[in-house]
């Protein structure tokens, strides 16, 4: 609630404010009785009231305008246009919303597919990696099965038993 700072063209005292409120029928019964008692006794106060009242009555001379005959018709047309624009906007929103849902669904499917492929690919690759790592073991599985302990094999290697099997391309 702000009070305009340019409302003070004419200083207004409390008495004037009470008179205006009295004319507007905005006083309580007690306030009205006080104003009427003063009006009965105070000529100047009565003059102020009459001037306020006369100035107020003069507002009846303000020119009055009539709406043109087409006012309602043109307003209804304008509103119809606005309504159809609203409808278009709603339809556009629905369309774009449908497209958005489709796009999101498609993107989600694509992401899921890529993620699935990546997972499968990773799993397969890690299986192959494991096989590659363990290839020497697999190749010599038959031999290892005939041997009870790794320490025995280690001893045989130290004695140069596997030298001939080193594939160095020479």
Partner 1 sequence: MSITESTAKRYELQDPDVRLMLEVRDDNAAAFEELMLRYQNRLINLMHHLMGRREQAEDLAQEVFLRVYRSRKSYKPGSKFSTWLYTIANNVASNARRSMARRKEVQVDGNDEGGIGPANPLDRIAKAASGQMPTRMIDRAEMGEVVRLAMETLNERQRMAVLLSKFEEMSYADIATTMGMSVEAIKSLLSRARANLKTALEPYLEQGAKPPAE
Q: List contacts with partner 1 (CB under 8 A).
A: 1, 3-4, 6-10, 12, 16-17, 19-21, 24, 26, 51-52, 54-68, 71-72, 74-76, 78-79, 82-83, 86
Q: Give residue for tokens 């303000």.
A: 62
Nearer to partner 1, 6 or 149 (CB): 6
Nearer to partner 1, 71 or 162 (CB): 71
Question: Closest approach of Cβ 98 to partner 1, in Å?
Answer: 23
Nearer to partner 1, 11 or 169 (CB): 11
Nearer to partner 1, 61 or 164 (CB): 61
Question: Closest approach of Cβ 67 to partner 1, in Å?
Answer: 4
Question: Closest approach of Cβ 18 to partner 1, in Å?
Answer: 8
CA 117, CA 110: separation in Å to the nearest integer?
A: 10
Question: Closest approach of Cβ 116 to partner 1, in Å?
Answer: 47
Nearer to partner 1, 4 or 160 (CB): 4
Q: Give residue for tokens 């099965």.
A: 145
Coil, strand, or helix at residue 78?
helix
CA 163, CA 97: separation in Å to the nearest integer?
A: 73
CA 10, CA 7: separation in Å to the nearest integer?
A: 8
Coil, strand, or helix at residue 67?
coil
Question: Closest approach of Cβ 112 to partner 1, in Å?
Answer: 40
Alpha helices in the chain (DSSP H): 14-23, 29-41, 43-58, 71-133, 135-139, 141-146, 150-158
Q: What torsion do the CA atoms of 28, 29, 34, 38 make, to the nearest 10 degrees? A: 100
């Amino acid at each position: 609630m702000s009070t305009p700072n340019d409302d003070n063209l004419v200083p207004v005292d409390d008495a004037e404010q009470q008179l205006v409120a009295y004319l507007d029928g905005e006083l309580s019964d007690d306030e009205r009785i006080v104003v009427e008692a003063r009006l009965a006794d105070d000529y100047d106060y009565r003059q102020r009231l009459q001037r306020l009242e006369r100035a107020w009555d003069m507002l009846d001379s303000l020119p009055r305008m009539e709406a043109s005959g087409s006012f309602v018709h043109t307003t209804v047309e304008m509103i119809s246009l606005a309504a159809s624009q609203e409808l278009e906007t709603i339809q556009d929103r629905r369309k774009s919303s449908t497209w958005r849902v489709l796009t999101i669904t498609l993107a989600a499917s694509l992401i899921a597919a890529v993620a699935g492929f990546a997972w499968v690919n990773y799993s397969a690759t890690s299986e192959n990696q494991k096989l590659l790592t363990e290839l020497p073991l697999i190749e010599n599985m038959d031999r290892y099965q005939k041997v009870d302990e790794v320490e025995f094999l280690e001893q045989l290697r130290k004695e140069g038993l596997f030298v001939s099997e080193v594939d160095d391309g020479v």
